[in-house]
Amino acid sequence: MVVELNRLKRGLADLEQDCDSAIKAIQAFIEDATVGQYQVFEMSAVAYSVTYLCQHEEYSMREYALHGLNHILKFLSESREKEEVKTLVE
CB-count burial class (<10 Å; 0-12, 13-18, 19+) for 50: buried
Q: What pTM, to 2 d.p., does this model score?
A: 0.69
Supply the pLDDT for residue 85. Answer: 56
Euclidean distance between CA atoms 72 and 86, whole angstroms: 13
Residue 20 in this model has a pLDDT that exceeds 60: yes
Residue 6 in this model has a pLDDT that exceeds 60: yes
* Residues 6 or more apart whose Cβ sits within 8 Å of residue 43: 72, 75, 76, 85
For residue range 38-81, list pLDDT tens digits in order.
777 788 888 888 888 888 888 888 898 999 899 888 887 776 55
